[in-house]
Amino acid sequence: MSQHHFHAVIWIDHREARVFHFSPTDVDKLVLHPDNPTQHIHHKANSIGSGHAAADKDFLHAVAQSVADAGAVLITGPAAAKTELVKHIDQHDPRLMKAIIGVETVDHPSDAQLLAFAKHYFLDKDRLTPQKT
């Protein structure tokens, strides 16, 4: 990152993570992919296991590290990957947990839609949260 931004938003699924560090006038974008992206696995009746692929720990770690210097982080995504990321952060980088201000279900927005959502979300939250960089 060329410049530190207080706010970050992550959109994550099992195929990619889009990470944006932003201010009102500037945006830095990073796209991360797991080494072995999971395919959709369909659960079969009478089979052992949930039918869900395990999260890629290296992928989750890279996503967590990408927001390690942010003061406020919003985590979004369409399914379970966002909660897997929060669990990973809680287990492996608990100091980052205090920067997470929200976890929201967001389907598949464009970059512009995701940034607009995040800015609106932070605008509401920032009225209550002091910014310390």
The residue-averaged pLDDT of 64-81 equals 95
Instruction: Using alpha carbons only, give the angle 118, 27, 82 rounded to the nearest 5 degrees.
Output: 40
Looking at per-residue pLDDT, the higher value among 65 and 3 belongs to: 65
Question: Is position 88 within any domain?
Answer: yes
Question: Is position 22 within any domain?
Answer: yes
Predicted confidence (pLDDT) at residue 44 exceeds the cutoff of 80: no
Residue 87 structural domain: 7-38+51-126
**E strand segments, 48-128:** 72-77, 100-105
Retrieve residue 64's tokens: 């967590």
Looking at per-residue pLDDT, the higher value among 37 and 123 belongs to: 123
Using the Cα atoms of residue 120, residue 126, residue 127 and residue 128 in order, give the sign of their dihedral.
Answer: positive
CATH code of the domain in which 20 resides: 3.30.420.60
Question: Is position 133 within any domain?
Answer: no
Question: Is position 44 within any domain?
Answer: no
Question: Is position 32 within any domain?
Answer: yes
Question: Is position 105 within any domain?
Answer: yes
Q: Please, which pLDDT band fits residue 132 given cuts at 50, 70 and 90? A: low
Question: Is position 1 within any domain?
Answer: no
Q: Are 68 and 93 in contact (CB under 8 A)?
A: yes
Q: What is the pLDDT of residue 39?
A: 44
Q: What percent of the chain has pLDDT over 90?
A: 66
Question: Is position 43 within any domain?
Answer: no
Predicted confidence (pLDDT) at residue 15 exceeds the cutoff of 70: yes
Q: How many separate domains does the chain show? A: 1
Residue with the two structure tokens 């995701």: 114
